Amino acid sequence: MKALMLHAIGDLRLEQVPMPQPRESEALIRVAAAGICGSDLPRIYEHGTYRFPLIPGHELAGTIAEINGSSDLHPGQAVAIKPLIACGECAYCRSGNLGQCVDYDYLGSRRDGGFAEYVCAPLDNLVPVPEGVPLIEATLCEPAAVALHALHQGDIRPGDVVAILGTGPIGMLLAQWSWYCGASQVILADIDQAKLELAESLTLGITVNSRTSDPIAAVRAASHGQRGADLVIEAAGAAITVAQAIEMARPLGTVVLMGNPSGDVALSQALVSQILRKQLTLRGTWNSNFGALPVDEWQLVLDAAARRRICLGPMISHAVPLEQGPETLEMMHQRREFYTRVVLTNP
Ligand SMILES: [Zn+2]
Ligand SMILES: [Zn+2]
């Protein structure tokens, strides 16, 4: 089969490789589409991955080609693939917190992923894609579940004013889920005007360019009695947006830290004082909930997409064949074009 093989940092090649063989309780899946995650760029170009050579790609959807074991699933079925393979035995797994597993495997970083024609994954990791959800859109299951998980971490409630710092695909998914969960207002901030215009065209909320306007003032103006946001999701990973998040949260509000920080984040005395005085709740969020309880976030994504309660398609700016993977990733790495979500396809 064809695959994009990462041999060393920055050395990604399109190659013919042997077909993977599904182990016991695994399936072989024909990859229809694989999303390129923000985390794939540093993995390929900066810090590398757990082993070389490795096929990256962990945001995957396809059809089952072969099943090794007993399952309710059947060959030909359309599925999205959860990339985290939990050990099932540690204390976190046994308590249902698979995302905190201490001995996990991961498609596309620890074992071969889906920038390829085929991939193997455990049967437990497959989520059937309902009719009406194109497989290319089902690749957004992972980021959409990650966004939903962040709002769950922030205990979002109907009526909340939600501020989102960072308006990439995750930010736009956060906005959609905020409305889904009953937000009374959503404010999206970014410094990239093209992203804000896209969010605006999708009527995802009030948009603020933080380069030219003050996002804190904009959030206060959009909130009841100028009090600030009930819930702020920091999805940019910069020191300045962490500071803005703390400042724009209302007293007794919640700030969820979601963006991977691009450097150290130091908090001034005044900001720490605000956390104390406003009795803010600061939460981290990581990945999504891979188990069935309290809510299967992946299933919720697909149900909501099938019922058109969230729209995944407009998040995708580029869909290119797998063969063009190396130059497409290079384009993203160099930021030569505006992109939101880029998907590699196997037509
Ligand atoms: Zn990802
Ligand atoms: Zn575990």
Per residue of the chain (347 residues), give pLDDT as tens: 999 999 999 999 999 999 999 999 999 999 999 999 989 999 999 999 999 999 999 999 999 999 999 999 999 999 999 999 999 999 999 998 888 999 999 999 999 999 999 999 999 999 999 999 999 999 999 999 999 999 999 999 999 999 999 999 999 999 999 999 999 999 999 999 999 999 999 999 999 999 999 999 999 999 988 999 999 999 999 999 999 999 999 999 999 999 999 899 999 999 999 999 999 999 999 999 877 767 889 999 999 999 999 999 999 999 999 999 999 999 999 999 999 999 999 98
Could you tell me which CATH number the domain at 2-143+289-345 has?
A: 3.90.180.10
Domain with CATH 3.90.180.10 in the chain: 2-143+289-345
Looking at 198-269, which runs of residues are DSSP E strands? 206-209, 229-234, 249-257
Label residues 5-18 b or e (16+ Cβ within 10 Å = b).
Answer: bbeeeeebebeebe
Q: Tokens representing 193?
A: 């005007």
Ligand 2 centre distance from Cα of residue 47 (Å): 25
Residues with CB under 5 A from ligand 1 (ion): 37
Output the CA 106–ligand 2 centroid distance in Å.
Answer: 12
Q: 130 CB contacts (<8 Å, ≥6 apart)? A: 302, 303, 305, 306
90 CA distance to ligand 2 centroid (A)? 4
Which ligand approaches the C-alpha of residue 89 most closely?
Answer: 2
Contact in structure between 233 and 164 (CB atoms under 8 Å) = yes
Ligand nearest, relative to CA of residue 103: 2
Task: Give the closest ligand to the alpha carbon of residue 38.
Answer: 1
| Cα 65 to middle of ligand 1, angstroms | 24
Question: What spacing in Å lies between the alpha carbon of 228 and ligand 1's midpoint?
Answer: 31
What is the rounded radius of gyration, in angstroms, for the C-alpha atoms of the chain? 20
State the span(s) of the chain assigned CATH 3.40.50.720.
155-284
The alpha carbon dihedral of 319, 321, 323, 324 has a sign of: negative
What's the CATH architecture for 155-284? 3-Layer(aba) Sandwich (3.40)
Which pLDDT does position 96 carry in this prediction? 86
CA of 86 to the centre of ligand 2 (A): 5
CA of 120 from ligand 2 middle (Å) equals 20
- Which ligand is the nearest neighbour of the Cα of 104? 2
Ligand nearest to the CA of 81: 1
- Closest ligand to the CA of 99: 2
Question: 218: CA distance to ligand 2 center in Å?
Answer: 43
* pLDDT number for residue 293: 67
Distance (angstroms) between ligand 1 centre and the Cα of 273 equals 34
36 CA distance to ligand 1 middle (Å): 7
Distance from Cα 170 to the centre of ligand 1, integer Å? 10
What is the whole-number distance in angstroms between the Cα of residue 85 and the centre of ligand 1?
14
Round to the nearest angstrom and report the end-to-end CA distance of the chain.
Answer: 14
For 123-201, where are the E strands, in sequence order? 126-128, 161-165, 185-190
Q: 104: CA distance to ligand 2 center in Å? A: 6
Distance 200 CA to ligand 1 centre (A): 24
pTM exceeds 0.75 for this model: yes
Ligand 2 centre distance from Cα of residue 296 (Å): 18
Region class of 108: left (phi > 0), else alpha (psi between -120 and 50), else beta:
left
Cα 58 to ligand 2 centre (Å): 19
State the amino acid at position 127 in one-letter form: V
Exposure string for 196-214, b = 16+ CB within 10 A, e = fewer? bebbeeeebbbbbbbeeee
pLDDT given at position 347:
83
143 alpha carbon – ligand 1 mean position (Å): 6
Query: What is the whole-number distance in angstroms between the Cα of residue 305 and the centre of ligand 2?
Result: 30
